[in-house]
Structure 1
């Protein structure tokens, strides 16, 4: 629940960025322009499911294991940052009048990817939470076998969800993007 709330906080922060309004002012005062659809495709070619999966597993590792190593610090930063990215994108599409496009590009794989990130964030808080409980005298051992099993179960579930999301993102989401 804490991970979900942090992710939502990030989305709210991202939605409140108004860089596009400032961008339009900047664009009127310079010759700079946004890249066309074709220029954008040449800069960001189609990415394989493997590449997407590996990139997202790195995020899962930062959220889960990074949280353990930093007592939740990296988890907080990473989960809020990922929410900010989603919020900024949503804001940009809303500003440009294309929120439907945003939903079409995010929902197919986001249904799996976002819960995967939130679950990994939950894993990142699991061990620090148990250590805090031990320090406060609420439990007798630092990390029990059950605590470790639950941590790795959460990481495993998040990796599975990220894998499914990568397959969808590299197939369905790409096809949707090509038709928009």
Structure 2
């Protein structure tokens, strides 16, 4: 079910590819983004900025090797639910900023 990727130094496996790892990681990131309710949206803004920056760097690097459309097809294929989850979590985490904007 899971495979490993060997690194270049010594051939030791340092990254385990396991679907449960990705599921638990996405849940952890979404809970961290939703914790913006407690931090007045600061953790939400910080996390969404870093994820957007990382995604931009990945798109740029991949499009340098292949075409931009190829990069979109490779990333969107597995990231459609992940990005949707981040958008929903980001809207939940930024709720205090919305209330501050509307009522003050």
* TM-score interval for Structure 1 and Structure 2 normalised by the shorter chain: 0.7 to 0.9
Match of 1:96 among 65, 89, 95: 65
Greater Rg over alpha carbons, structure: 1
The answer to whether 1:51 aligns with 2:21 is yes
Runs of 5+ in structure 1 lacking a partner? 1-36, 137-180
Q: 1:44 aligns to what SS in structure 2?
A: strand
Aligned to 2:96: 127
Count of equivalent residues: 96
Q: Deviations over 1:86-145 (max 9, x none)?
A: 111111112223542x334311221111111011000001134225544x2xxxxxxxxx
CA distance in 2, matches of 1:61, 1:128: 18
Superposed, 1:1-180 pairs within 5 Å as 39=7, 42-46=13-17, 48-65=18-35, 67-97=36-66, 99=68, 100=70, 102-134=71-103, 136=104
TM-score, scaled relative to structure 1: 0.46
Q: 1:71 aligns to what SS in structure 2?
A: coil
Q: 2:47 aligns to what SS in structure 1?
A: helix
User: Which protein has greater RCO, CA pairs closer than 8 Å, 6+ apart?
Assistant: 1
**2:6, 2:15 within 8 Å by CA — same for their partners in 1?**
no
Shift of 1:44: 2.9
Runs of 5+ in structure 2 lacking a partner? none
